[in-house]
Chain A
Amino acid sequence: MTETAKKILAQLSNVANGAGVILPLSLAVYPRSTICAAIEAFSESCELQLDEYRDGHALLGVRVKSLHTSDAHSIVGELQNFLLRSAVELNET
């Protein structure tokens, strides 16, 4: 298993523990506009923080708010799919 895969899997497994996750985003996969749309869409259920750390890469910190902790797994999952759908739809246009 590659280091990248290990890191992501470890991050995602933290969701079940109620901890926050940091998603390493490539702007080539998820353009900035899709990330901004996701932040806006999920701001009610999550605390989201975007850090662009070098050209073409960003880190999205996600922490599910305490009120929604029991649904953390599905909320973070839906956030991932939201990013994906937005990226695909942007590619289509």
Chain B
Amino acid sequence: MPDGVTITSASVPDPASIAENRAAIEIDTTIYSLNAVLRASYKFTDQAYFFIAHREDARDRVVVTLTLNNSASSIRVLVGNFCNELLDQQVRESLAREFGDIRTLIVAQAFSEGNLLDPKRDDGNCEEDPRATLQRR
């Protein structure tokens, strides 16, 4: 399992029959943001019921409780998939933070007629060589 994630299989004293359908996962929100936790949980709401709570004695940790719904998947497989999705969401968030501005610029450039970074680049007569490209040779 990735760092920052602690898994606790449900060992509820009673009734034992539902203990196999439930697990609690503790997540360090200094590693995985709350937003990533929410998004990862959201993705599996067709397979399980999710409840997210802050740990009472450690505010930077959340406990995610998964309870299988009536679908056929096993809790162990679901927990594994959830952890991978959590990592995926965190990477997406980090990439968006790092390259979001560049992505916005590329999309804006793709839909604009002129050059956004250098508006004069496409102006002028090519025979006059306004950018003096021939002189560099």
Contact = CB atoms under 8 A, between A and B. Distances in A.
Contacts of A78: 49
A85 B54 CA distance: 18
B94 interface: no
Contacts of B24: 1, 5, 8-9
Contact of A29 (B26, B38, B42): B38
Contacts of A9: 10, 12, 22, 24, 65
Contacts of B51: 8, 12, 23, 80, 83-84
Among A4, A24, A78, max chain B CB count under 10 A is at: A4
A13 B63 CA distance: 16
B42 A84 contact: yes
A84 B10 contact: no
Contact of B38 (A5, A12, A91): A91
Contacts of A30: 52
B15 A84 contact: no
A26 B38 contact: no
Interface in A49-93: 74, 76-78, 80-81, 83-85, 87-88, 91
Contacts, number: 92
A40 interface: no
Interface residues of B, number: 33
A80 B49 contact: yes
Range class of the A interface residue count: 20 to 34
Contact of B50 (A1, A76, A81): A81
Contact of B56 (A4, A23, A25, A83): A4
A56 to B, nearest CB: 9
26 contacts: A2-B8, A2-B26, A2-B55, A4-B57, A4-B63, A8-B53, A9-B24, A10-B12, A12-B65, A13-B18, A23-B51, A24-B53, A24-B56, A26-B53, A26-B54, A29-B38, A29-B62, A74-B69, A74-B70, A77-B67, A77-B69, A84-B41, A84-B42, A84-B50, A85-B42, A88-B38
Given A2-B8, A23-B51, A78-B49, 10 more contacts: A1-B8, A4-B57, A4-B63, A9-B12, A12-B22, A23-B53, A26-B54, A77-B69, A80-B49, A83-B51
